[in-house]
Amino acid sequence: MENMNVAVIGGGIIGLTSALTLADRGHRVTVFDPAPVSGASWHAGGMLAPTAEVVYKQEPLFPLMNAAAKWYPELIQLVNKYSDLPTGYRTDGTLVVARDRADNTHLEELSVYQALHGMEVNRLTTREARKREPALSPALAGAVEIIGDHQVQPRLFAKALLDACVNTGVTIVQEAVTNVDDANDLDADQVLIAAGLGAAEITGWFTGVNPLELRPVYGDILHVRVPKHQFPLLDHVVRGFVEDRPIYLIPRGDGTLTIGATTREDGRAEPQVQGVYQLLRDAIEVCPALEECDFLEADAGARPGSPDDLPYLGRVNERVTVSTGYFRHGILLAGMAARCGADLVEQKAPAISLEACDPWRHQRA
């Protein structure tokens, strides 16, 4: 493929992984974003969990998540090729636990559903779970282990990505682009729109109403520090169900621990008291020793969701490719978005079918 000038609109995880992949393939890449790595990527949990993140009746999403997880080690290697900064990549696996008998029924039913779709889930006794993670509550009613689910630390990963992009020669322009025709002034042969929620405001590639039906889905997320005498409090990512509410606890190598995350569509950009209380209460039910941790931060981020919670990923004309709407799975799906997005920019057939991700699908419907 002849080297091209590519404009990437958006400097979050999706935009930067795509830019890095394109630059590594020999293209001249410019990323446009007034504030790189400050959007949804900055507020994410960072779980690479194609099995634990399964949601009922979202089967079209499963092959995308599985492909992304399969390709993630290559993405990490690519970042490490051009940057010495840490990514927080860990492969310890995930434990999923149930607080009471009703939650255990939910966990058992979910495990059956996952197994029916070819996902590997290992049932554990609560004693086995506490042997792996002694800090877990002795009152838990059930547990499973998912070996293949991993994690990155999003803020570290974003900084390493930005550093890797700069080291490959990617130009970072801290300006907004609201019309793809503006890229003509920059001699861009191809344009990749990877601006998250901002993609809904970018024009020049459609007539009439923007076909991307994006909505902000907010989530409260907490960060605590584990005291030295307790570190490491956990080794695995621990996900749980408490009175049917999902909770997750993500241990980090720097001594911090992330707790998340609520889901709400109320348009309120600040963390909500109810959400913070709920997360702390449920996390302590799963891991009582959290009460001794230092509280660092309550945060909230807006994730770009589509009506069917599937991303928009596809070529929309001879010059423009769209890559947005990754909702709760942006960090994980970056492993797929970078590779397939670069393929589309190069006008190649993507490595997997993207039929379910057609950017025009809701306009046609």
Same domain, 313 and 300: no
Q: Whose structure tokens read 């409090």?
A: 233
Q: Which amino acid is at 313?
A: L
Q: What is the arithmetic mean of pLDDT over 57-74? A: 95
d(CA 245, CA 225): 24
Same domain, 290 and 220: yes
Q: State the number of CA atoms in the 13 A half-sphere of 153 facing the CB.
A: 18
Which one of 287, 305, 323 terminates a domain? 305
| 363 inside domain | no
Q: What is the arithmetic mean of pLDDT over 58-75? A: 96
Lowest mean pLDDT among 40-44, 86-90, 144-148, 326-330: 40-44
Q: Which residue has the higher pLDDT, 186 or 95?
A: 95
Same domain, 60 and 192: yes
Average pLDDT, the chain: 95
Q: What is the arithmetic mean of pLDDT over 148-155? A: 95
Same domain, 75 and 175: yes
Q: How many domains does the chain have?
A: 2
- Residue 2 has a pLDDT of 82
Domain CATH for 283: 3.30.9.10
Which one of 305, 321, 337 terminates a domain? 305
Whether the predicted pLDDT of 184 surpasses 70 = no
| 364 inside domain | no
Q: Write the pLDDT tens digit of every residue in 104-139.
A: 999 999 999 999 999 999 999 999 999 999 999 999
> 75 with 13: CB under 8 angstroms?
no
Quickly state the pLDDT bin for 183 (edges 50, 70, 90): low
Same domain, 138 and 223: yes
| 365 inside domain | no
pTM (two decimals):
0.96
Q: Write the pLDDT tens digit of every residue in 252-288.
A: 999 999 999 899 999 999 999 999 999 999 999 999 9
- Residue 186 has a pLDDT of 67
Nearest CA to 193 out of 315, 23, 28 is that of 315
Domain CATH for 45: 3.50.50.60
Same domain, 120 and 76: no
| 362 inside domain | no
The range of the structural domain enclosing residue 266 comes to 94-147+216-305
Whether the predicted pLDDT of 365 surpasses 90 = no
Same domain, 60 and 22: yes
Q: What is the arithmetic mean of pLDDT over 43-66? A: 93
Token reading at 94 = 């995930």
Same domain, 200 and 229: no
3-state helix, strand, coil in the chain (%, to 5): 35, 25, 40
Q: What is the arithmetic mean of pLDDT over 182-193? A: 83
Quickly state the pLDDT bin for 55 (edges 50, 70, 90): confident
- Residue 127 has a pLDDT of 97
Which one of 270, 289, 305 terminates a domain? 305
Give kind and range of the element (H or E) at residue 321. Answer: strand 320-324
- Residue 197 has a pLDDT of 96
Same domain, 159 and 133: no
Same domain, 161 and 247: no
Lowest mean pLDDT among 37-51, 64-78, 163-177, 265-279: 37-51
Same domain, 165 and 62: yes
Whether the predicted pLDDT of 26 surpasses 80 = yes
